Amino acid sequence: MSKIIAIANQKGGVGKTTTCVNLAASLAKANRRILLVDLDPQSNSTVSSGVEKTLACTVKEVLLGETELKEALLETAVGYDLLPASVDLTVAEVRLMQQESREFILRQCLRSVIQDYDFILIDCPPALNILTVNALVAAHSVLIPMPCEYFALEGLTSLLKTIGEINQTVNVDLQIEGVLRTLYDGRNRLTREINQQLSVHFGNKLYTTVIPRNVRVAEAPSFGLPILNYAPRSQGATAYLALAGELLRRQEDAV
C-alpha cells in the first residue's frame, strides 16, 4: 500500500526539508518508489534535489487546477520523483483561501498518482497555513522533525493541537508517523533534558535514530544533492539511511 507522509513543524530551521530530501533518497536507495512534493514557496526541497526553482509547471499550477499533476512531475537524478515548487506558490496560497473545499485540493490531486509510489513525502512550509493543512489532509501520517534545542518544544503544542483538530474534522485517519530528533548534539546537557521530555511525551513514537548535526548535511543542498550522493560515508548519510530502515521496519511491524 502506498503511504503519504507530511513532514511538518511550523517552526523554520528544524530540518523539515533536510529530512524530506534525505529520507526520500534513502528510501529510494532501498528500492522504494518515492515522490517528493515540495509544498514550501521557498522551494528548498526542489533546489536540494538538483532542480531549478524557476520552472513554469509546478505544484502551484497543479493546486490551482491549471495543469495535471502528471504534467508537472519530474524525474530527478537522485532516485525519486519530484513535484517541484516555486516562489509563486504563495499566490496559490492566497487563491486557495478563496476556494470551497480548500483543505482537500492536494488530497484530490494526489489521487491520480498514489498507486505509482510506495511513499509520497510532503515538505511543508514553516507555518500552520492552508498549504500545511492541505498536506495534513492528504497525508496518512505526519513526521515531526524536532531539534533538541531550547524553544524547540515551544511550537509543539500548537502543532499537536492542529493535528488533533484535523483528526476530529477533515482527516480522522491522520496518525503521527514519528518524532525525529534533528541537529542532535549528545554532548549538550540541554539535549539530554529535551530527550527526556520528548520520550515522556511521545513514547515509542520517538524514533531511536537521531540525526546528528553534521556539516556535510548542511553543505549538500548547495550541490543539489542528497547527503547519500554528496558524502555517502558521512555521519549524516548513515543517520538518514538508518531512519529509512527504522521507518520501514515500523511499517512492516504495523501490518
Contact pattern for ligand ADP over residues 235 through 254, marking x by CB under 6 A = -x------------------
* Contact code string over 31-70 relative to ligand ADP, x by CB under 6 A: -------------x--------------------------
Binding to Mg ion by residue 17, rule CB under 5 A?
yes
Q: Which of 24, 103, 96 is nearest to 60 (CA)?
A: 96
Contact pattern from residue 68 through residue 87 relative to ligand ADP, giving x for each residue in contact according to CB under 6 A and a dash for the rest: --------------------
Size of the site for Mg ion (CB under 5 A): 3
Q: How far is the CB of 46 from Mg ion (least distance, A)?
A: 11
Please list every residue from 31 through 50 that binds Mg ion, using CB under 5 A: 44
Cα separation, 220 vs 67, whole angstroms: 31
Between CA 99 and CA 118 the distance in angstroms is 30
Q: Which is nearer to ligand ADP, 137 or 210 (CB)?
A: 210
71: left (phi over 0), alpha (psi -120 to 50) or beta: alpha
Residues near ligand ADP, by CB under 6 A: 12-18, 44, 126, 182-183, 211, 213-214, 217-218, 221, 236
Residues near Mg ion, by CB under 5 A: 16-17, 44
